[in-house]
Amino acid sequence: MIDNNNNKDLVSSPDEEKREAKVVIELRDVKRYFQVGSETVKALRGISFKIYEGEFVTIQGTSGSGKSTLLNQLGCLDTPTSGEYYLDGVPVRKMSKNQRAHLRNRKIGFVFQNYNLLAKTTAVENVELPLMYNSKYTAKQRREAAIKALQAVGLGDRLEHKSNQMSGGQMQRVAIARALVNDPTILLADEATGNLDTRTSFEMLVLFQKLHAEGHTIIFVTHNPEIAEYSSRNINLRDGRIREDTLNPHIKSAAEALAALPKTQDD
């Protein structure tokens, strides 16, 4: 195993205040309670952390640990009951729905477990989608950006393929291209390998590591502890609290893991 040392000196310690890298995400004692009937479900019981530009963070936990709720907070899909969340310096808690929609459009790239591509729509059109909601882009610029993003995920030759003509891995690549197309501050992946077989999962990890190496900030939410071995930092959740927040000094190479996989019969 060869360590991926590219960002090693940037991520010496997660709690250290003095760093050269910019803070892109800061949570201060974020709590999220839900009222279910007469009971209050405490999904997040006070979460605080910072994520710096260029980190590849896995947020890992079992179901019920609060990781989905945390993902919704990070993705500006929801607001905290109390505490503060700053995305790229912008306080999110008091934002209106529309302001958050705008913020998501400019600063966040989502990758979902089940790809969420538009049916019967070509790869390029799917990738263009976030830019459709950004009036700064002309149709031509939109298309150029979408093609660039698709090339970045290795689908430069499948621009006009429709979503129903693609394999799971290809669909997830399109979804990643869609997340990249608006040049987001953070790439937010929700169980992005959850629906894929082992080989394709590793292919995705290779892609994420490549994007990480190119300087993207990635937050990867997963229940799978194995994935943490390929990220630069792992935040482990349990019962709505951070159980562990560790830097990974020995980042595994997904490319090597992929090469080491036994060849399968299917293509």
Partner 1 sequence: MNILNLLKVSINAVASNKMRSFLSMLGIIIGVAAVIAMMSIGQGSKESIRKELSAMGTNLLTIRPGADQGPGGVRQDPSAMQTLKAADYERILAEKKFVQYVSPEVSASGQVVYGNSNTSASIYGETPEYLDIKQWTVEEGVCFTEEDIHKSAKVCVIGTTIVSELFGDNVDPLGKTIRFKSIPLRVVGVLKSKGYNSWGMDQDNVIIAPYTCVMKRIAAQTYFSSIICSALTEELSDNAIEELTQILRQSHKIKDESGDSDDFTIRSQAEMMQTMSSTMDTVTLILGIAAGFSLLIAGIGIMNIMLVSVTERTKEIGLRMAVGATGLVISVQFLIESIIISVTGGIFGVLLGIGASNFVLPIFGMPSSVPSWSIFLSFGVCVAIGIIFGYIPARKAANMDPIEAIRHE
Which residues contact partner 1 by CB under 8 A?
A: 72, 75, 77-78, 97-98, 101-102, 104-106, 110, 112, 116, 118-121, 129-130, 132-135, 178, 182
**Smallest distance, partner 1 to C-beta of residue 128, A:** 9
**Smallest distance, partner 1 to C-beta of residue 15, A:** 30
Report the candidate in 220, 262, 257 with the shortest Cα–Cα distance to residue 2: 257
Q: Which is nearer to partner 1, 21 or 77 (CB)?
A: 77
End-to-end CA distance of the chain: 27
Q: Which is nearer to partner 1, 3 or 183 (CB)?
A: 183
Whole-angstrom distance, CA of residue 137 vs CA of residue 221: 30
**Smallest distance, partner 1 to C-beta of residue 228, A:** 23
Q: Which is nearer to partner 1, 102 or 210 (CB)?
A: 102
CA distances, 88 to each of 23, 50, 106, 187 (Å): 7, 11, 11, 13
Burial class (CB in 10 A: 0-12, 13-18, 19+), 193: buried
Amino acid occupying residue 222 = T
**Smallest distance, partner 1 to C-beta of residue 17, A:** 32
Q: Which is nearer to partner 1, 119 or 260 (CB)?
A: 119
Residue with tokens 């993902």: 71
* Whether 120 contacts 111, CB under 8 Å: no
**Smallest distance, partner 1 to C-beta of residue 96, A:** 10
Q: Which is nearer to partner 1, 123 or 206 (CB)?
A: 123
Which residues does residue 56 pair with via DSSP β-bridges, in sequence order?
218
DSSP state of 22: P
Whole-angstrom distance, CA of residue 74 vs CA of residue 104: 10
CA distances, 136 to each of 14, 101, 128, 234 (Å): 36, 16, 13, 36
**Smallest distance, partner 1 to C-beta of residue 250, A:** 34
Report the candidate in 79, 109, 77, 108 with the shortest Cα–Cα distance to residue 91: 79
**Smallest distance, partner 1 to C-beta of residue 121, A:** 7
Q: Which is nearer to partner 1, 73 or 209 (CB)?
A: 73
Q: Which is nearer to partner 1, 56 or 110 (CB)?
A: 110
